[in-house]
Amino acid sequence: MSIKTLVVSLCVLLLLGCSDQGEPEAPMHGPNSAYRSIGVVAPEHYDVWVDKFFIESLSENVGWRRPFGIVSCCWKSPPLSRAEWQTTPELFLIRWFSFAEQQSYEAVIRLENAAEIVEKMKEPAPYERYGKTMIEPRDTLVLGLAPGGTVVLWIMNGAENAIEV
C-alpha cells in the first residue's frame, strides 16, 4: 500500500467519524414535527423579483436572510421555494419588484401574535395529494405578494386548508 493511499484512507475515516449519524431531534413531518418552513408566492401572471427577504425573531434575538429571486405563481398555495426556520419569526422585511407594474415595493411586517400562529401551525389539517387524503400540520408560513404592494400571510400544508393570519 502506498503512502498516498494510506493518507487518503485515513482522511476518509476521519471525516466519516466526524459525521452525525444520530436520529433527528424531531420528525420532519407529522403531528409532533418541529419542521416549519416559510415561502413567498404571487398571483398568476404577476411575476416578481424578491431581492430582500429578512426575518427576525425578536424574542430570541436571531435574524436570517433568504434570497428568493423570481417568484411566479401560484396564489394561496404552498410555495415551490421554501426556507426552514427553527425559531419563531416575528418581524419580516421584504422588498420586491413587480414586472407587471414595473414598480418596487417594500413591506415591514410585525407579527404581534407569533406564538398563536405557531400553535395553529401545529394543528393537523387534511389535504389532498396524489389522490390520497393526508393529515399533517400546517407547517408552512406563506407570504403572498399582491398588486399594489399588498402582502397577505397564510399558514397551510395545502392550498385547500390555508388560513389567513
Per residue in 104-129, pLDDT (tens digit) is: 999 999 999 998 998 999 999 999 88
Rounded-to-integer distance, Cα 141 and Cα 143, Å: 7
**What backbone phi and psi angles, to 5 degrees, belong to 22?**
-70, 170
Cα Rg of the chain (Å, integer) = 20
| Statement: residue 19 has pLDDT above 50 | no
**pTM score of the predicted model:** 0.75
Which residue has cell 466526524? Answer: 18
- Give residue limits of the domains in the chain: 26-164
The pLDDT of residue 54 is 93
The pLDDT of residue 43 is 93
Contact present, 30 and 82 (Cβ < 8 Å): no
Per-residue model confidence as pLDDT tens digits over 67-116: 889 998 788 888 877 888 878 889 999 999 999 999 999 999 999 999 89
**Percentage of the chain exceeding pLDDT 70:** 80
DSSP state string for 7-66: HHHHHHHHHHHHS--SPPSS-SSSTT----EEEEE--TT--EEEEEEEEEETTTTEEEE-
Contact present, 35 and 29 (Cβ < 8 Å): yes
Which residue has cell 386548508? Answer: 161
Rounded-to-integer distance, Cα 46 and Cα 2, Å: 62
Q: How confident is the prediction for the chain on average, in pLDDT?
A: 82
